[in-house]
Chains A and B, each alone.
Chain A
Amino acid sequence: MAVITPAEPQRKRLAEVTPANLRRRYLRDRMMVGILVLATLAVLIPLLIIVWYVVSNGFQAVLEPTFWTSDLGSPARALRGTDTGLGHTILGTLVVDGIALLIAVPIGIGAGIMLSEYPDHPLNPSLRILNDTLNGMPAILKGLLAFALIVKPMGTFSGLSGGVALAFVMLPIVARATEGVLRIIPWSIREAGLALGLPRWRVVLNTVLPAAKVGVVTGVLIAFARAAGEAAPLLFTAFGNNFFSSTPLRYVFGPVDTLPARLYSLAISPYREWHAMGWGAGVVLLMFVIVTFVVSRIATRQRHQADM
């Protein structure tokens, strides 16, 4: 039987744990957590103040059923107390934002894939410059671009042109976010797919992109939240409208109202009643973004957390 010799006691360990330095470590740990909590509060408190301010000013307007079911009409309606509301604005916003998402999500994700997965493709550098330019371009210029591309040829303001303008807002954000998450997916997954004799695009679509799903969705949501609040690009594209459109198609091909633009016009109007409705528009806009966030989060929640 071998005799087990005890470890040499005289050698001092490098990171000796004594009660004193243990206390110091815990203290430092707690300080770090404290700093993080402060930083979180610094972000949350202004946010909560904004939400509170909007909601407290706007909740009365949105509790009115006609706020949801009627269109705005002329100021006389509000002044006389007959039915008035932002039903047409909410519909218009859904249409314009929907069109923007339909355009920006596939193209943006495609561009992100191109940037991340095909770095040697000859079109890649120009795509990157284009994307960066679009990213840095002021939103109002994106409205002008959509005006030149859609409104001029069609001869009318339209929900479509508004959607295109907002798509310009979303595109670079979606593309950047997609590129970013694809880049952090381990290279070995791609190699595993290729080694099975799968073509490159299959590997990207069926193995890399699903692994990046959560990040891509986050990118789309950030882009959506950015675009949903933009008024500037809509001024000379969607233009605005005080009434429900006569047919569904006219929401796409005719001038439509949108929440951010309407919020602005209500706020600068001289009528107290419209100011209240403007706050209501703010509440709806907030709800709109929050509901979208929650729904898509639930829809894309990882069934198995161990995935990543």
Chain B
Amino acid sequence: MERTTTRQPTPATPRPTDAGQDEARASVAADAKARLITEDISVHYGSTLGVCDVSLTFRDKTVTALIGPSGCGKTTFLRSLNRMHDLTRGVKVSGKAVLDGTDIYASGVDPVTIRRRIGMVFQKPTPFPTMSIYDNVVAGLKLVGIRNRALLDEVAERSLRQAALWDEVKDRLKAPAAGISGGQQQRLSIARALAVEADVLLMDEPTSSLDPQSTMRIEELIHQLKDDVTIIIVTHNMQQAARVSDYTAFFYEGNLIEVSDTNTMFTNPREKRTNDYITGRFG
């Protein structure tokens, strides 16, 4: 099952963060089982490095926040977790991402099955423009052949309620999705991702286009979802990271600098760069 990787030989001296990571892994929620483990994930855009050798463990039913200045590779890393880079030319991913014991990059693993288990919410709203609001929400079910009307109705309502959109659209579910506001479209995209009930949910700045009220509702949603799913969320909002996450990982220039439980991260970061970033000194 070993995939040929194009990794450079590991440096003789371990990176200073390695010890810290292990420590963090050991210290927090050692009771929860690991759902998704990355081992030395690197992503190259042609010859430019996106992220370099990221090893992280995401435990079941926890929320991990990925933070770091713009361009540090958060999106790049997130997209490597559901093989979203597969379709972009010139992007090379190396390393492993092990979901419940299976490396999703191993040969013979179908990315479609992986993506059904690892859902994703994008930074920008992406409704399917020709579909109605209703059809958008249940697209992930309907388009794989689920036709049970009652079931679809139920899923649509539940997902829209969870995404804090139900009250605004319940009277026009058949209306075109392109005809709602940008913030509503973003919540629609969230509802659509919820409807397929993935085990892991990747969220790339899901609330960056939302008003404070909706943002609060989405944060509440993340709290609720934590009972069932593993969530990995990218955010530029430190308060949000502190509010919603159990763990926080700090990225800088394509490297994972530090990861620990969110409390420690925000009160007592080990690295100076982390401290500078979360206190707003750069980035």
Contacts and interface: CB of A to CB of B under 8 A. Distances in A.
A193 B129 CA distance: 12
Contacts of B116: 196-197
Contacts, number: 89
Interface stretch (B14-22, B82-90, B156-164): B82-90
Contacts of B196: 196-197
A190 B84 CA distance: 11
Most chain A C-beta atoms within 10 Å of own C-beta, residue among B82, B115, B127, B131: B115
Interface in B173-194: 176, 178-179, 189, 192-193
Interface in A184-221: 188-200, 202, 206-207, 210-211, 213
B204 to A, nearest CB: 10
A304 B178 contact: yes
Contact of A196 (B124, B131, B178, B192): B192
A206 B113 CA distance: 19
B130 A306 contact: no
Interface stretch (B139-147, B237-245, B254-262): B139-147
Contact of B144 (A198, A207, A213): A198
A303 to B, nearest CB: 7
B130 A307 contact: yes
Interface string B120-150: 1010101111110000000110011000000
B193 A193 contact: no
A237 B69 CA distance: 68
A202 B87 contact: no
Contact of B140 (A191, A197, A200, A210): A197
Interface string A60-100: 00000000000000000000000000000000000000000
Size bracket, chain B contacts: 20 to 34
Contacts of A191: 84, 87, 122, 126
A196 B115 CA distance: 6
A213 to B, nearest CB: 7
A189 B136 CA distance: 12
B87 A196 contact: no
Contact of A189 (B115, B126, B193): B126
Given A120-B89, A192-B122, A198 B176 contact: no
B115 to A, nearest CB: 4
B66 to A, nearest CB: 17
- Interface SS of chain A: helix, strand, loop or mixed? helix
Contacts of A206: 128, 139, 143
A145 B179 CA distance: 49
Contacts of B82: 195
B124 A188 contact: yes
A212 to B, nearest CB: 9
Interface in A26-54: none
B129 A195 contact: no
A303 B131 CA distance: 11
A306 B179 contact: yes
A195 B193 contact: yes
Nearest to B189: A192
Contact of A202 (B89, B143, B189): B143
B129 A198 contact: no
A207 B142 CA distance: 12
A132 B189 CA distance: 40
Interface in B71-120: 82, 84, 87, 89, 111-113, 115-117, 119-120
Given A191-B84, A197-B196, A202-B143, A207 B128 contact: yes
Contact of A193 (B113, B128, B130, B176): B128
Interface of B: 82, 84, 87, 89, 111-113, 115-117, 119-120, 122, 124, 126-131, 139-140, 143-144, 176, 178-179, 189, 192-193, 196, 198
9 contacts: A120-B89, A189-B128, A189-B129, A193-B143, A194-B115, A196-B192, A206-B143, A210-B128, A210-B131
